[in-house]
Amino acid sequence: MCTRQCAKIIGVSLYPFCALCIICNILLFFPGWNLDAIQNPNQKLTPEVLYLGGIIGNGVMVLVPAIYIQCAGRRGKCDNRCGMFISIIMAAVGVAGSLYGFVVSVLGLVNGPRCLYEFINGRVEWVLPFKMEWEFVDVESSYLFHRPAWSRCSEPIGVVEFNVILFSTILAASAIQMVLCLIQMINGLFGCLCGTCRGKM
């Protein structure tokens, strides 16, 4: 396959994953489809949501390179050796952005959501329960594998499932974005060294 055509396919393929991550990050501001958390984010919102991994990392930092990578794959001023060299740099920015979103999503999954938690001693408080010591929250390992503890988060309703699904979606999309950007870095290198076959197509 021509390096130019490959760049075009990669650029277009990145768009839906950027959109998916942005949408998921926006939804995370409304845990359990509840609007209360956004009004008091420091006390009721999961901290990793505020890092904007899906909006800044997987969104803007991948979307801008995706636009350029697609341009490098179309006829015009960018489909030459110099354009392919710039696409390597842009793809590296995309890798950095997707890596940021990946790390934030991992932290969001590991630390768990902020919720109104009912402790085993009967105390109820807005905390990050699954980030606390296990003896306080009655969880012997990661909360991800201890579903009975999820029900102790009384508000927002279903917040644990909500966070797990959305952070997992961003995580998967981040991994795909990273792979696509790495492929473009290799493709751009070939395009820079060997040309883009612009005269053949």
Q: What is the mean pLDDT of each run of 10 residues along the chain (201 residues)?
A: 82 96 96 84 88 95 93 68 86 96 95 87 85 60 80 89 95 97 91 64 43
pLDDT tens digits along 50-106: 999 999 999 999 999 999 998 887 765 556 778 888 889 999 999 999 999 999 999
Compute the distance between CA of residue 32 and CA of residue 62 in angstroms, rounded to an integer: 28
Residue 201 in domain: no
Residue 173 in domain: yes
Residue 116 in domain: yes
Compute the distance between CA of residue 17 and CA of residue 5 in angstroms, rounded to an integer: 20
Residue 176 in domain: yes
HSE-CB at 113 with a 13 A cutoff on CA atoms is 32
Residue 200 in domain: no
The model's pTM: 0.87
CB count within 10 Å of CB 184 equals 33
Give the count of domains, the chain: 1
Residue 149 in domain: yes
Confidence at residue 139, expressed as pLDDT on a 0 to 100 scale: 57
Confidence at residue 12, expressed as pLDDT on a 0 to 100 scale: 94
The answer to whether the Cα torsion of 135, 139, 141, 144 is positive or negative is negative
Burial readout 92-130 (b: 16 or more C-beta within 10 A, e: otherwise): bebbbbbbbbbbbbbbbbebbbbbbbbeeeeeeeebbbb
Per the structure, the complete domain to which residue 155 belongs is given by 3-194
